[in-house]
Amino acid sequence: MAIVDGVAKEAYRLGGTHYKCFPRSDNEVANAKEFATIEEAAIFMIRNPGWGIRMNPGSAIIYNGIQIEL
């Protein structure tokens, strides 16, 4: 989850299959890392600061202000 301009955003599965994390300033799917679960994506993002994840509403890649519940 992230709060962007007062709006709560949630990660979602692209195409309904996988969560995708992206390196900063890159929205190329070929460069994204795919994860079957949100937990796997969260662990990856903790280990790789600067990466973002696609979130709704707005289908945006969010890099900052992401809250990961442990």
- pTM of the predicted protein model: 0.84
Contact of 69 with 26, CB cutoff 8 Å: no
With a CB cutoff of 8 Å and minimum separation 6, the contacts of 35 are 18, 19, 20, 21, 41, 44
Which residues are paired to 52 by β-bridges? 22
pLDDT tens for each residue of 4-50:
888 899 999 988 899 999 999 888 889 999 999 999 999 999 999 99
Residue found under tokens 């994506």? 41
